[in-house]
Amino acid sequence: MAVRLGLIGDNIGRSRSPRLHRLAGELCGLSVSYEPLVPPDLDLDFDAVFTRCQAEGFRGLNITYPYKEKVVARLRIEDTRVRAIAACNTVTFEEGGPLGFNTDCSGFVSAFRENFPDAAPGIVAMAGAGGVGKAVGFALASLGAAELRLFDGDFAKADALSVVLRQAAPAMRVTVAGSVGEAVSDADGVVNCTPLGMVGYPGSAIPKPLLAGRSWAFDAVYTPVETEFLQDARSKGLEVMSGYELFFHQGVDAFRIFTGCEVDQAALKAALDRDRAPDRAAS
């Protein structure tokens, strides 16, 4: 069985998604192709790339920065939580039209439980209220976070997310901070859901001195895996969860949606780790 997949996003030259899905296909006895699609490089806009994929017989797509919110208008979304998130990173092309999912949310829950099996999120400060920030906010509510403090340079975006989260997850206190320092003060966890730290976007959304005294940190960025933010967090004694863990679990969930197959996660992780070995040796 041949399965044609793709990834639409900007700045995805180092994405490991093609390798993850091809390896998962091999482990499940499927022939999987997975194409990186960068609209500016194709001299097309997002809608034109999406339409072309639908016309050319793609089974599905992953959607990444900065198109996770833009794609929603083109999709049928059956899951009420995903409709509330209003951002999708996984699309399948069905007879009734494109269907949207959010495996960032489910993937974060799985990654958190795997990395911090005995911990609750507690009070969490989160920088970034875009597509991945929305998914992580809902995931933190599912994990029982006591409080979520949002910070985004676009105050209106953070405020809009706070309203949605308060309605969907009334047990979690949600506030919008006026500064990153206000958000991080006395928080247990610190989360980066901005593109800062990604290849092409150097820096960190959370200044290093603010990390002292926090318990755990997560960075949604995974290219590179070792971001400045995570390095700063480790140096301050925090337990960390990298964006690679979210990448892996959201990828497993997306592969299941695309193919209906349950991949052997241990075997897939081992194969991906072998690919990562040269990167770690060079770092």
Q: Say if strands 60-63 and 123-127 run parallel, antiparallel, or are unpaired.
A: unpaired
Based on the fold, state whether residues 212 and 119 are members of the same structural domain: yes
Residue 67 catalytic?
yes
Based on the fold, state whether residues 109 and 233 are members of the same structural domain: yes
Catalytic residue among 34, 65, 67, 244: 67
Based on the fold, state whether residues 21 and 67 are members of the same structural domain: yes
pLDDT of residue 13: 87
pTM: 0.91
Based on the fold, state whether residues 238 and 109 are members of the same structural domain: yes
Based on the fold, state whether residues 219 and 251 are members of the same structural domain: no
What is the count of structural domains for the chain? 2
What single string gives the DSSP state of each residue in 208-245? GGGGTT--EEEES--SSSS-HHHHHHHHTT-EEE-HHH
Domain with 185 in it: what CATH number? 3.40.50.720
Q: Which residues contact 170 (CB under 8 A, 6 or more apart)?
A: none
Residue type, 141: A
Domain of 83, in residue numbers: 2-102+245-282
Local confidence pLDDT in tens for the 283 residues of the chain: 799 999 999 989 888 999 999 999 999 999 999 999 999 999 999 999 999 999 999 999 999 989 999 999 999 999 999 999 999 999 999 999 999 999 999 999 999 999 999 899 999 999 999 989 999 999 999 999 999 999 999 999 999 999 999 999 999 999 999 999 999 999 999 999 999 999 889 999 999 999 999 999 999 998 889 999 999 999 999 999 999 999 999 999 999 999 999 999 999 999 999 876 544 443 3
Based on the fold, state whether residues 35 and 15 are members of the same structural domain: yes
Domain with 47 in it: what CATH number? 3.40.50.10860
Determine the angle formed by the axes of helices 17-27 and 265-282, rounding to 10 degrees: 140
122 class by beta-carbon count within 10 Å (0-12 exposed, 13-18 middle, 19+ buried)? middle
Based on the fold, state whether residues 25 and 115 are members of the same structural domain: no
